[in-house]
Amino acid sequence: MSAMSAGRSALRMGPAELVQAAAMARRFYLEGKSKIQIAEEFGVSRFKVARVLETALERDLVRIEIRVPAELDAERSDALRARYGLRHAVVVESPAEEQDDAPDPENLGEVAADLLGELVNEGDVLGLAWGRSTIHMAAALDRLPPCTVVQLTGVYDAGTAERGSVEAVRRAAQVSGGEAHPIYAPMLLPDPATAAALRHQTGIARAFEYFDKVTVAAVSIGSWEPGISTVHDMLSDEERAHYASLGVAAEMSAHLFDTEGRRVGRDLGERCITVEADRLRRIPEVVAIAGGQRKAAAIGAVLRSGLVTSLVTDTAAADYLLTESAAPQRPALERADPDGD
């Protein structure tokens, strides 16, 4: 046989070969049988099976498609995970017409709810910090294994507890069938003495006892500007100016960060009802939920803090994070403190 004839023969499959290739491909791709099992069934070597399966792909007898829901951007998700050393990164499509003053897209909460359904195992302790995105996430929860749910921060306004983080904790506990440990106290108090007194109240102290047991946490991120940071909106003009002078660029759970992820304005924490940063760092899985162009730089700052391991965001923020010139100094999974504390 000439070389040209052999080439044509290799490219062309007879009917028996086509039928056999289709049958082997069905066993392998649809029925989950191994190449050894298929080889035994057809009386050929496993190497022959491998060649047939390869040919089936080349001849378009088999087409492999990788599909994710249209709202998920798999390519950006993987690139973001690799760039920041995250355990999980999920990027969703930004709204077609994103407004400059819009909060986190609500679909972030829905996707985060699905992610928690994957990450939380029976017997875990789930911690929820205050934030619009975590509240949206809790409202979207429809599955969670039995777990304990604890509130990690006080509420933005004690008068809105029923519509905020307290209700989010209750909702998550209801879905999981586990215990709920809410915190009925404001996040920010007038002075350290008042905050210290509240921390010793029975219900709040009981919630704090669970902080070291938290295995999965969900947190929000804010940038240091009106409407995008809870803490910013609770402070006086003088206090805002003071913390701005320290270089604050981001806020998470009442902790402030500069652009390099270093904590600044630590005195503020003495007035807050919130999980301490060192405790957050010890939680095995901390999922941050935040998106939008206005939060992009703040998200990058918090990722550099080493306090979070996973991120749910949108394409607008992801594009900034993937192109910003300041590459992350430490991957998030190292959980290292930029301050060296």
Tokens of 204: 């709040």
CATH 1.10.10 in the chain, residue ranges? 15-59
**Of 127-136, 275-284, 313-322, minimum mean pLDDT range:** 127-136
Topology annotation, domain 15-59: Arc Repressor Mutant, subunit A (1.10.10)
The C-alpha atoms of residue 285 and residue 309 are separated, in whole angstroms, by 6
Q: Residue 174: what pLDDT?
A: 95
Region class of 13: left (phi > 0), else alpha (psi between -120 and 50), else beta: beta
Burial (CB < 10 A; 0-12, 13-18, 19+), residue 37, is: middle
DSSP string, 4-21: HHHHHHHH---HHHHHHH
CATH 3.40.50.1360 in the chain, residue ranges? 72-334
Q: What CATH number does the domain located at 72-334 have?
A: 3.40.50.1360
The answer to whether 296 touches 338, Cβ cutoff 8 Å, is no
**Cross-strand partners of 155:** 186
**Of 31-35, 162-166, 207-211, minimum mean pLDDT range:** 162-166
* pLDDT score of 340 more than 90: no
* pLDDT score of 170 more than 90: yes
For residue 85, which of 239, 303, 261, 326 has the smallest C-alpha distance? 303
For residue 153, which of 175, 137, 168 has the smallest C-alpha distance? 168
pLDDT band at 7 (very low <50, low <70, confident <90, very high): very low
Q: Residue 3: what pLDDT?
A: 34
Helices assigned H by DSSP within the chain: 3-11, 15-25, 35-42, 46-58, 74-84, 106-119, 132-140, 165-176, 192-199, 202-209, 230-234, 237-245, 277-282, 296-304, 315-323
- pTM: predicted TM-score of the whole model, two decimal places: 0.77
Q: Residue 153: what pLDDT?
A: 93
Residue carrying structure tokens 């989950």: 32
The C-alpha atoms of residue 263 and residue 254 are separated, in whole angstroms, by 11
* pLDDT score of 9 more than 50: no
Return the number of other C-beta atoms located less than 10 Å from residue 156's C-beta.
21
The answer to whether 195 touches 273, Cβ cutoff 8 Å, is yes
The answer to whether 126 touches 211, Cβ cutoff 8 Å, is no
Tokens of 244: 């701005």
**For the segment 31-42, what is each residue's pLDDT rounded down to a tens digit?**
889 999 999 988
Mean pLDDT of the chain: 85
For residue 156, which of 173, 168, 172 has the smallest C-alpha distance? 168
Tokens of 48: 């022959």
First to last CA, the chain: 75
Q: Residue 161: what pLDDT?
A: 42
Phi (first) and psi of residue 159, to 5 degrees: -75, -15
Better-scored residue on pLDDT, 79 or 66: 79
The C-alpha atoms of residue 180 and residue 191 are separated, in whole angstroms, by 28
